[in-house]
């Protein structure tokens, strides 16, 4: 097995920044694998009384990626595509409005948000490292560090990857901790139809 077979695997012995960003990228990859290659029925599937669905998780995490890497990082507005979406960011909007989006829209939204977030966070890391202070501040006026933002993303993905684990198993039985070696997202081909 080579690094190119599992590029999401964090380094065995790297710097703190490499480990923290590696842990985030591994969770991003595992989440994307859990939601990959589904049709609208699969992305809207729910378990029991819960209103969570994989499509809602995709849209929510796309919103979180852009919010963290703009508003919280630098104070910049989130911009496209969020500025064109009525209600973006309010309450459970991302979770509930995802039912109106196509699978292609949801996958493109998440993939684009992660690419933008990764580029913004990489630039910030290169410009000042994990210890630098960011725009986000607490009630007392103290600013958070970039480390805090990255750790918040890790926590967010940890929680929602667990949700995605249960939802995906209910949809079609897909289970596992990591994607298989060599896996890549299937974003450019039509999703697999699920029974619904």
For residue 78, the Cα-to-chain-centroid distance in whole angstroms is 16
| Residue 20: inside a domain | yes
182: pLDDT strictly greater than 70: yes
Beta strands in the chain (DSSP E): 133-137, 143-145
| Residue 144: inside a domain | yes
**Angle between helices 16-35 and 103-128 in degrees, nearest 10:** 180
| Residue 1: inside a domain | no
Report CA-CA distances (Å) from 101 to 12, 51, 79. Answer: 39, 16, 19
| Residue 167: inside a domain | yes
pLDDT for position 87: 65
Higher pLDDT residue, 98 or 91?
98
162-182: average pLDDT: 90
| Residue 158: inside a domain | yes
| Residue 177: inside a domain | no
Nearest to 34 by CA among 168, 177, 170, 195: 168
The token duo for 29 is: 């990859």
Give the chain's mean pLDDT: 88
| Residue 78: inside a domain | yes
What CATH number is given to the structural domain containing 99? 1.20.120.450
Q: Is 63 helix (H, G, I), strand (E, B) or coil?
A: helix
Q: What is the pLDDT of residues 119-154, one digit of tens each?
A: 999 999 999 999 999 999 999 999 999 999 999 999
| Residue 136: inside a domain | yes
* Domain that includes residue 71, residue range: 16-172
Count of all residues that appear for the chain in the document: 196
DSSP 180: P
- Number of domains comprising the chain: 1
């Amino acid at each position: 097995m080579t690094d190119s077979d599992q590029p999401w695997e964090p380094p065995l012995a790297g710097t703190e920044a490499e480990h923290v960003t590696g842990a985030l990228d591994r969770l991003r990859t595992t989440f994307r694998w859990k939601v990959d290659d589904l049709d609208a029925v699969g992305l809207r599937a729910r378990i029991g009384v819960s209103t969570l669905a994989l499509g809602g998780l995709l849209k929510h995490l796309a919103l979180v990626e852009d919010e963290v890497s703009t508003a919280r990082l630098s104070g910049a507005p989130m911009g496209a595509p969020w500025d064109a979406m009525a209600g973006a960011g309010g309450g459970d909007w991302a979770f509930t409005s995802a039912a109106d989006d196509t699978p292609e829209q949801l996958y493109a939204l998440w993939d684009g948000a992660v690419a933008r977030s990764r580029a913004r966070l990489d630039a910030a890391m290169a410009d000042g490292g994990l210890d630098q202070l960011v725009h986000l501040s607490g009630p007392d006026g103290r600013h958070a560090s970039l480390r805090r933002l990255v750790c918040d993303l890790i926590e967010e993905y940890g929680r929602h990857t667990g949700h995605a684990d249960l939802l995906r198993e209910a949809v079609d039985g897909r289970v596992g901790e990591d994607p298989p070696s060599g896996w890549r997202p299937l974003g450019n081909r039509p999703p697999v139809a699920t029974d619904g």
